[in-house]
Amino acid sequence: MSLRLARIAWVVTRYRLDTLIPKERLPWVLRVLLVLSPLRLFPIHGERAERLRLALEALGPIFVKFGQMLSTRRDLLPPDIADELKRLQDQVPPFPGEQAAALVEEELECPLADAFAHFDTTPLASASIAQVHAARLPDGQEVVVKIIRPGIDRVMRQDMALLYGVARLLAKVPEARRLRPREVVADYEATLFDELNLHREAANTSQLKRNFKDSPLLYVPAIHWPLTRRRVMVQERIHGIPVADMAALEAQGTDLKRLAERGVEIFFTQVFRDNFFHADMHPGNIFVAHGKPHDPQYIAIDCGIVGSLTREDQDYLARNLLAFFHQDYYEVAALHIESGWVGEGTRANEFASAIRSVCEPILEKPLKDISFGQVLLGLFQTARRFNMEVQPQLVLLQKTLLNIEGLGRQLYPDLDLWHTAKPYLERWMKERAGPRGLWESLQRQAPELSRQLPELPVLAHQALTRVEAEHKQRHRQSESLAGLRRQMLATAQGARRLRLGALLVGLAVAWQPLLEWAGDQPWPVLVAAGLGVLLLAWQ
């Protein structure tokens, strides 16, 4: 851990990342510390955007993933930084091709020539966790071979240990505790380490391909299972236009408005229809098919990170979004309380008023100027007052939605995310709650109901027998408690009689001395003594 911290400190120093901090926004104490910092003794080489990219590459896959996510939010970043971070999507420095070939042979347990008619040692693309090489199967089919970087799991475990340390510190701060940092880090860890298992990614890819079979919206390349292993995956090669290559898309005459809207439709289809969504949709993983400029079709690769929600979270999320679209803030507040996302003691009208104060200034703008990211940020800040906890199961979804919004605005700056999503959500809710949804629910539960139906008389008899046995047991317990109370009362009465008898015997024995003593005492002392005797007798 200490070595990793030292490594991070060295990278921050080497690339002078302190110069990226907006000093004018810092408290004066921190400004003074930065001015006096020994970091200023190190020279600055290169532009700020290049230094940031190189630093993220040097720090490893977790930091590269963070840079990839930022690269899609051009509305939040200066243009030079956004352009440079875009290179993290598929231009991370590769490891040697000869080493990649050796890893493939090791995983397949056979010579490379037996598995492939041709294997190109020059990588097609290189990312933070794996790199891709072009190849051709013996039957002539063109494929790509994805190979996990050697030793990457060790670096990732070091970074995760560091993140857990930061999370433990944050958990001790009351203001940060509601963010549930340890649960969020654990969820991120599970998601990130899933990417190291290419068998899992291949299974995710096959599932996504089935969900969008023959769809005009999305094409998913097929997996070649005979040559797929834990650290090696072989997949159909696709030839598309990178979604970030605006010049090529415009040269093809692509309908960018429709392309952006279809991206939103694909996202909501995955989340609500299939409950299985691609959660790493940065531009390096998305292509556009050639030859369909007026009916554009996406091509998705790299399904290492996918997400899903419970049916309850699906319902709450859809109802929340629709309530936002309709500006029904009381419904939003009530749903948050009902779902347990805020404390039960929260008053819905107060929470609704706080949400309204955040959303109204944003929603008064033209719809094309509304950023869902701004809404989320404002809601998180407002939720502090009501001790709203972060829901780890929704973090992946929120990150994906922000990526989709950033990508859509890059393709078509006037994208109206909310207007595009609203009809889809309304239709989905109508189908879920309407006759069709009820019929599908009955169909889904029919096998289980048909299995349990013959057992209902037996189950009912067992339930009645159990209720009767519990009633008899409660009756016996009630009688036992009543007997115990009678016994305790009799014991208390016996003790009272014993104390009274002892008091009378004592008075009889000491009567003569007491009379002599009383004759010499003033009347207040005698009254006090009499009260004491009465209290002893009463007790």
Query: What phi, psi does 145 have (nearest 5°)?
Result: -115, 120
3-state SS record for 286-337: EEEECCCCCCCCEEECCCCCEECCCHHHHHHHHHHHHHHHCCCHHHHHHHHH
Quick one: which of 432, 424, 434 has its CA closest to 321? 424
d(CA 94, CA 467): 69
d(CA 242, CA 429): 34
Quick one: which of 130, 286, 324 has its CA closest to 208? 286
d(CA 533, CA 120): 108
d(CA 334, CA 346): 9
Q: Output the CA angle 355-359-365, nearest 5 degrees.
A: 170
The tokens of 103 are what?
């890893």
280 noted as active-site residue: yes
Quick one: which of 261, 264, 266, 265 has its CA closest to 219? 266
**Choice among 90, 159, 280, 416 that is catalytic:** 280
What 8-state DSSP symbol labels residue 201? H
180-200 per-residue burial string, b: 16 or more CB within 10 A, e: under 16: bbbbbbbbbbebbeebbbbeb
Question: Are the C-beta atoms of residues 503 and 536 closer than 8 Å to each other?
Answer: yes
The tokens of 259 are what?
């392309």
Question: Are the C-beta atoms of residues 356 and 348 closer than 8 Å to each other?
Answer: no
d(CA 175, CA 384): 8
3-state helix, strand, coil in the chain (%, to 5): 65, 10, 25
412-421 per-residue burial string, b: 16 or more CB within 10 A, e: under 16: beebbbbebb
Question: Are the C-beta atoms of residues 413 and 207 closer than 8 Å to each other?
Answer: no
Is the Cα dihedral 262, 264, 268, 271 positive or negative? positive
The tokens of 412 are what?
């078509």
- Report, as residue numbers or ranges, the catalytic residues: 280
